[in-house]
Structure 1
Amino acid sequence: MSDTTRDAVRLRWPAVSARRLERSALAAPSPHLDPAGIVGALCGAHAQVLSAAELSIGMRGEGLTRSVVRKALWDEAGLIKMYGPRGTVHLLPAADLPMWVGALSALPSSPSPFTKDVRMTPEQTEEVVAAIGAALRDAELTIDELSEAVIAATGPWAGDLVMPAFQGMWPRWRQAITLASHRGQLCFGPNRGRKVTYTHPQHLTGDDPMEGTAALARLVERYLHAYGPATPQNFARWLNVSPRWATELFDSLAGALQRVDLEGTAAWVNAGDTGTPGEPPRGVRLLPYFDAYVVACQPRDRLYPGAMAKRALTPSGQAGNYPVLLVDGVVSGVWHQRRSGRRLAVTVEPRTELTAAQRAELDEQVERLAFVLEGTAELTIGTVGVGPHA
């Protein structure tokens, strides 16, 4: 894909920032979107820490508490919890599941991180994925119950305790659990007491996946609508695929994409989608761990200027490990909340002096946070001593 920017529409960073905030329901909370609508607009909500996903969703809507989000997830099946982009746990809209499964199952396979004596052969992997799907159809199983079913269906080799995990070892078959989710054979079910359960997505939705090429095209369209202008390299980082593969994908969609000039850098939007808001980005926002906005938005140096890169990014440049304070579309601090019963102790560490109006907005954000998390909050302006989330 050519990098020339001659004759391309020219966009400035403040206008792009305002556009992304608006489309991510961060310019103002959306009164029209339900939890599934918000998650769809974000291209998924990272849910390794489920309370953070609840906060990501609730802060963007009106009247959306964590109970409302949980009801959409566990009772109404409007949301699905599964392994999504980058192989991490996400909430995804049930209505979008055909696109997600079609796209994720069409991604190029990554090299196995396991040694030869641990990893499975391609044939064994297919056996395990099929066994997972068969065991979970019309069932909700704990990991131990699922393990018994998979080993019974495939053979003792699947149960060999060869995968280092935390303080113990996991059975061999578990290295295929993310692939099974990407193939549409596994998602999370409601907890059984303190135990996680898994079930089959079709048990909840009944929908078949889209064809891979069409699904990838739609995913690129959704991503660029939310986070464009963007480059194939930005998309590759967001999805954890090779930049070369992402470039080839963008090339294949050339007729549906339009090149723009983002302050001297060639980037892409959906064809004809070059509009931006008339006003610069404004507002104070509290974003939780691994919020979709900070994970997806590039370039990082624009979103995390100066010293904020060192304070709120990992050494490798990964975003999301700290909850962040967003001021006028730019990361301007970090924050942390500690819960005790219904009481929330919120500490915010701004890296810039807040105006009186911005401090008032911060107070409003803390009130919204307490509403979403169904508690009462007390704000302290000070140093956050908690380190990054792993």
Structure 2
Amino acid sequence: MTELSWDQVSARRLQRHGLHTPAAGAAPDAVRVADVVSTMCGAHAQVASAAELSVGLRVPGATRALVRRALWTDRTLVKTRGPRGTVHLLAAADLPMWVGALTALPAPSWERSVVLLTPQQTEQVLAAIADAVAEADLTTAELTEEIVARTGPWAGDLVMEAFQDRWPRWVAAMTDATRRGVICFGPNRGRVTTYTSPTRWLPDFAPMPGRAALAALVRSYLYAYGPATPAQFARWLAVPPAWGKWLFDSLDLTEVTVEGTTAWVAADDSDFPDDRPSGLRLLPYFDAYAVGCHPRERLFPGAAATRALAGGQAGNYPVLLVDGVVAGVWHQRRSGRSIRVTVEPLRPLDAARQRALAQEVDRVGEILEGRASLTVGTVSVGPHA
């Protein structure tokens, strides 16, 4: 069995995420952006600016404008719900795999406990959604009108609990609609969300068969985040650990040990560098590296576990990454083109790392198309919900 050090694992993950040494090469374009997002297994997009920064950090020379162009003009990216049911930017070419895999996952317990639509009504709503968004970007209100017109008044009944309000009955099918690839996000109309069809990105879109899609997803995950255990993969997808173990057992994977702990990689992907992890990065909210890499105690050592995790959950704080581990938190505040970046290191930074931090702050400004300034001090902002 291959025996690995944590340094080897960390160095490989940094390289594959484009967070080690910025790669030289051709000018950035929408295809390269999509390749990076594919390798990451998606960029969390609950906070749009964080997704743009997360991708831009991995593509030398990229700006948020390029990420937006890839999403809305070149359509090499698609905005939809990915792992854990959260909003992600995914590579459009990967959408058949994602839809095939997500529809093959076990349904969360909360979905099984809330029944607002019969199976027949769900299929009616899904057909109505597909027809309505085939060539249109529709707001929720507009989509409600179109669905009710195609199904009946029952679809618009305000019966679904929504914070301090109620949503129409058809919204209970939204999770299925996203998971099956019937719907994805369209460009915002001002501050209002719109929805549209993934076939506008992939005209011949068809989901990959479930088992093949799951195998491809595991391979992609292990390429970016391996070695990993079934439990870590299950946590990343928000599925039962026992199901994750069953899936790993059904695939051709290679067992390795990382400083005495057993984990897995894809069968033909067991090469690791001998380099030590190096470099300094400012990762935004919900960055894929911080969320997807395990074990947490290695990535968030010592004081980082207390300062940079929220109840054990990664992603709620932007983090300072030094040599592959979390070494602080940071925050940005924007006013026009001015971006004030405050960084709170958890240990002193030597002169070389102070210079690297200043360069990274400049890069944050370039990506977000603003003028960034640095303050080293306490971050007073709490975790993102």
Query: TM-score under structure 1 normalisation?
Result: 0.94
* 305-314 or 295-304, larger mean C-alpha shift: 305-314
Percent of paired sites with the same residue: 60
Structure 1 runs of 4+ aligned residues shifted over 4 Å read: 113-116
Indicate which of 5, 13, 16 corresponds to 1:20: 13
Q: Name 2:354's counterpart in structure 1.
A: 359
Indicate which of 350, 363, 367 corresponds to 1:372: 367
Indicate which of 242, 245, 252 corresponds to 2:243: 245
Indicate which of 136, 150, 156 corresponds to 1:159: 156
Provide closer, same or farther for how the CA distance between residues 37 and 195 of structure 1 changes in structure 2, counting only shifts above 3 A: same
Letter paired with 2:47: V
Indicate which of 292, 301, 305 corresponds to 1:305: 301
Cα separation, 2, equivalents of 1:310 and 1:266 = 26
**TM-fit CA distance, 1:320:** 0.2
Q: Name 1:175's counterpart in structure 2.
A: 172
Contact 2:100/2:210 (8 A) holds in 1: yes
Letter paired with 1:107: L
* 204-213 or 38-47, larger mean C-alpha shift: 204-213
Indicate which of 374, 378, 386 corresponds to 2:381: 386
**TM-fit CA distance, 1:291:** 0.2
Letter paired with 2:63: T
Cα separation, 2, equivalents of 1:80 and 1:165 = 26
Q: Name 2:54's counterpart in structure 1.
A: 56
- 1:191-227 C-alpha deviation (Å, 9 max, x unpaired): 2233221111012211212111111111100100110
Q: Which runs of 5+ in 2 are unaligned?
A: none
Q: Name 2:138's counterpart in structure 1.
A: 141
**TM-fit CA distance, 1:178:** 2.3
**TM-fit CA distance, 1:131:** 2.0
Are 1:334 and 2:314 counterparts? no
Contact 1:103/1:213 (8 A) holds in 2: yes
Q: Name 1:213's counterpart in structure 2.
A: 211
Cα separation, 2, equivalents of 1:41 and 1:230 = 16
Letter paired with 1:24: H
Are 1:92 and 2:85 counterparts? no
Contact 2:254/2:266 (8 A) holds in 1: yes
Cα separation, 2, equivalents of 1:385 and 1:264 = 38
- 1:69-123 C-alpha deviation (Å, 9 max, x unpaired): 101101110100001111100000111111111111111112235865x633333
Q: Name 1:222's counterpart in structure 2.
A: 220
- 1:133-179 C-alpha deviation (Å, 9 max, x unpaired): 22111221111111112222233232222223244221122122122
Are 1:128 and 2:125 counterparts? yes
- Structure 2 residue matching 1:141: 3-state secondary structure: coil
Are 1:196 and 2:193 counterparts? yes
Are 1:271 and 2:290 counterparts? no
Cα separation, 1, equivalents of 2:62 and 2:153 = 47
- Structure 1 residue matching 2:375: 3-state secondary structure: strand
* 147-156 or 361-370, larger mean C-alpha shift: 147-156
Contact 1:82/1:92 (8 A) holds in 2: yes
Q: Name 1:5's counterpart in structure 2.
A: none
Q: Name 2:81's counterpart in structure 1.
A: 83
Are 1:295 and 2:297 counterparts? no
> Could you say what the CA RMSD is over the residues aligned between the two structures, in angstroms?
1.5
Indicate which of 11, 15, 23 corresponds to 1:30: 23
Q: Name 1:4's counterpart in structure 2.
A: none
Q: Name 1:350's counterpart in structure 2.
A: 345
Cα separation, 1, equivalents of 2:60 and 2:226 = 26
Contact 1:28/1:60 (8 A) holds in 2: no
Are 1:105 and 2:103 counterparts? yes
* 143-152 or 20-29, larger mean C-alpha shift: 143-152
Letter paired with 1:155: G
- Structure 1 residue matching 2:212: 3-state secondary structure: helix
Q: Name 1:186's counterpart in structure 2.
A: 183
Cα separation, 2, equivalents of 1:14 and 1:154 = 57
Q: Name 1:46's counterpart in structure 2.
A: 44
Q: Name 1:281's counterpart in structure 2.
A: 277
- Structure 1 residue matching 2:342: 3-state secondary structure: strand
Query: TM-score under structure 2 normalisation?
Result: 0.95
